[in-house]
Structure 1
């Protein structure tokens, strides 16, 4: 079975609230979407605007769970599901910190061939409350890029 990799555009909106204030970041990335065993995967490279230049990101999701894997300048694994507490390590070339994520809200849906992933979580780094984050991702077919074949995102 051949897996079709479809070009996609990923809009990412993030809001981080901490004791230092609120920071909003909006970025757009371009990558490729694949589906296998009723799970969806997007592969893309982070840009400087995200603060993660030199990092490759993989998103893996279904309707109940989202996993974000990063490797490169930053290495980490983040897993989100209703009420899930995920403990992992956040690695940079300079330091490694224990990271704990508590999923407070997760909603995944596809409408008009566009995937929407919305999540909210509390982040602890090195055992200290760090911030509360809201993340919205919209993943849509990149109609400007030519490709062979098509996988419909919605089932």
Structure 2
């Protein structure tokens, strides 16, 4: 893989039977034993709002999502136990935990968990806990496709 690559990102989130799909353009790069995906999320309905800059770091067995801008949050996903995170916006702020049931990178030409060339999918299932109460169960698929 070249140092940096422009990619199309499709984020599919399932919670309690409801599906939400978001598409973005971003950048993929590799550093050490990790893949990084960087993109911006516009704030819908607010023309002058600061976009949310998202950075996803995947390495075998661990996924970290950091968001900065109109929202400031950090979530860590790793199978086995709960992982601390946080969320802050102008409206609210809270601590949260994720309990990950599954985390895998799927690619046609790569062994399970191997850092792959696009196209590939990172898939994870987790429970979200807020103030020690189960807030929701999620199944996420992050599809990455190289752009020409």
TM range, normalised to the smaller chain? Answer: 0.7 to 0.9
Aligned to 1:135: 140
Aligned to 1:34: 29
1:74-130 Cα offsets, whole Å, 9 max, x none, are 111111122241112211111111111100111113325312111000011233211
Structure 2 unaligned residues grouped into runs of 5+ = 45-49, 110-117
Aligned to 1:121: 126
1:50-84 Cα offsets, whole Å, 9 max, x none, are xxx82110010123211111111111111112224
TM-score by length of 2: 0.82
- Mapped to 1, the partners of 2:64 and 2:13 lie a distance apart of 16
User: Is the Cα–Cα contact under 8 Å of residues 6 and 32 in structure 1 kept in the other structure?
Assistant: yes
User: Is the Cα–Cα contact under 8 Å of residues 117 and 137 in structure 1 kept in the other structure?
Assistant: yes
1:80 has 2:77 as partner: yes
- Mapped to 2, the partners of 1:98 and 1:138 lie a distance apart of 28
Count of residues paired in the alignment: 134
Which of 40, 56, 61 is 2:58 aligned to? 61
Which of 95, 103, 106 is 2:100 aligned to? 103
RMSD of aligned residue pairs (Cα, Å): 1.8
Structure 1 unaligned residues grouped into runs of 5+ = 144-155
Structure 1 residue ranges, 4+ long, deviating more than 2 angstroms after superposition: 109-113
TM-score by length of 1: 0.79
